[in-house]
Amino acid sequence: MTSFQPPENNRPVPKVDHKINCAEVPERFTALLTPLLLLTSIFFVNFISRIALAPLMPKVKAELALSHAEAGSLFLMISLGYFATLLASGFISSHITHRRTIMFSSMAMGAALITTSFSTGIWGMRVGLILLGMAAGPYMPSGMATMTTLFHFRHWGKALAIHELAPNFSFILAPFVAEVVMYWFSWRTVFLVLGVVAFILAAVFARYGRGGEFRGESIKLSSLRQLLSRPAFWIMVVLFSLGISSTLGVYTMLPLYLVTDHGLDRNWANTLIAFSRIAGLGVALIGGWATDRFGPLKILRIVFALAGLLTILIGLTPQTWVAVAIFVQPIIAVCFFPAGLAALSMVSSASERNLTVSLTIPLAFLMGGGAAPALIGFIGDMHSFGWGIVLVGGLILTGSIFSGFVKLRDQGGE
């Protein structure tokens, strides 16, 4: 069974039992900052491609004559594809190494995005979005495996915080990119541009990327049974589902919520949402520092309590105050990921980490990134978007309780 042993002289690691020795990786955090930024860039395109539909949704919904529930279900299509290939990511990386998995994912995303850009109907969109989710899926476990073996474990909080700048920049830039492109072209051009960029980054990583020249661990029945029997695993699935709901789940439906329930112009709604995410860039780094300083579980309890209350306020406040709630909520919610990913890396041993990520993230993304928007859209048809957001906020609040039941492993011996 292979683990996350870093390669020597860019040679693949033999298939023998071994453990990571943290003394083999550089102590200085800045020594490997460049490859970390390249991984972050790939993650940025991976993430923005999956949320670009959110600022485009008012236009897409009108053009394709969709109901609120049908609009929300499009994000479920992305999540279903993402769920499928994330589960298979261990099988892929166990055959072609983590490095090649990262390149494969980026190239497949380019093809899926370009395919989606040519869709002209609801079924073309559904197929294209499922393919997009499938292409994006293999990156996360391989990216995490590569990153956590490039850096000493004491720097994981900071490395993960920088890596998590990718979704934060995506949340900011997606509305701006959508509005700028739609000023001159169709909304389909957004997918076309992102597809070309994905191909370019795959080529850059092939030439200049570091790490990942070792194989992952495919899902084995014995390992699967052992992992599924651990309460900590299921608690992490719940926590990541709620964390993703507080960021991605709410974000995807905000443009429709502001346009439909509050009567805002689409351009102004997207601008407001984009600016509300700017503060999250700095806060994510603070969250990484706080995770290293106070431990991930303490940070998670605070984040879930505050993010849940603020999400409820987004759904309840009148138009005069809704902008304030939209600005404050992501500042808190963004702190989940440095702490959540650090905790996820610490609930299992190094040899099981890839399997843990490969099972936790797809289940959580399916619920938080797919089911949550679909639920908000469904309640939007039945009553209003606001009440859908309130319900999701109440669920997020429960994360502060579940966080108290997680038991972390000591990483010092790995």
Nearest partner of 149 among 286, 43, 2, 46, judged by Cα:
2
> pLDDT per residue over 302-324, tens digit each?
999 999 999 999 999 887 788 89
Q: How far apart are CA 172 and CA 391, in angstroms?
A: 25
Higher pLDDT, 96 or 108: 108
Predicted confidence at residue 308, as pLDDT, reads: 94
Widest distance between CA atoms in the chain: 62
**CATH homologous superfamily for the domain 27-405:** MFS general substrate transporter like domains (1.20.1250.20)
> What value does the mean pLDDT take over residues 72-93?
84
Per cent of the chain over pLDDT 70 is 86
> What value does the mean pLDDT take over residues 257-268?
87
> What value does the mean pLDDT take over residues 132-146?
87
> What value does the mean pLDDT take over residues 143-154?
75
> What value does the mean pLDDT take over residues 275-294?
79
Domain boundaries, the chain: 27-405
**Cα end-to-end distance, the chain, whole Å:** 16
CB 117 within 8 A of CB 199: no
Q: How far apart are CA 235 and CA 407, in angstroms?
A: 10
* List of residues 6+ apart from 166 with CB closer than 8 A: 40, 41, 43, 44, 46, 47
> DSSP string covering 394-405, please?
HHHHTHHHHGGG
pLDDT tier for residue 134 given thresholds of 50, 70 and 90: very high
Higher pLDDT, 81 or 15: 81
Half-sphere exposure of 280 toward its Cβ, with a 13 Å CA cutoff?
A: 30
Predicted confidence at residue 1, as pLDDT, reads: 34
pLDDT tier for residue 29 given thresholds of 50, 70 and 90: low
Predicted confidence at residue 414, as pLDDT, reads: 47
CB 74 within 8 A of CB 342: no
Predicted confidence at residue 152, as pLDDT, reads: 65
> pLDDT per residue over 227-254, tens digit each?
787 788 888 899 999 999 998 889 889 9
Percent of the chain that is helix, strand, coil (3-state, to 5): 80, 0, 20
pLDDT tier for residue 153 given thresholds of 50, 70 and 90: low
Higher pLDDT, 208 or 51: 51
pLDDT tier for residue 349 given thresholds of 50, 70 and 90: low
Answer yes or no: is pLDDT of 15 > 70: no
Tokens, residue 312 = 């409820």
* List of residues 6+ apart from 116 with CB closer than 8 A: 124, 125, 128, 129, 131, 132, 188, 191
Predicted confidence at residue 23, as pLDDT, reads: 41
Helix (H) or strand (E) holding 406: none
Nearest partner of 246 among 139, 386, 99, 399, judged by Cα:
399
* List of residues 6+ apart from 35 with CB closer than 8 A: 150, 208, 209, 210, 211
Report the chain's mean pLDDT, rounded to a whole number.
81
> pLDDT per residue over 87-103, tens digit each?
777 778 777 888 888 99
* pTM of the entire predicted model: 0.76
> pLDDT per residue over 164-202, tens digit each?
788 878 888 999 999 888 888 888 899 999 999 999 999
> pLDDT per residue over 388-413, tens digit each?
999 999 999 999 898 888 776 654 44
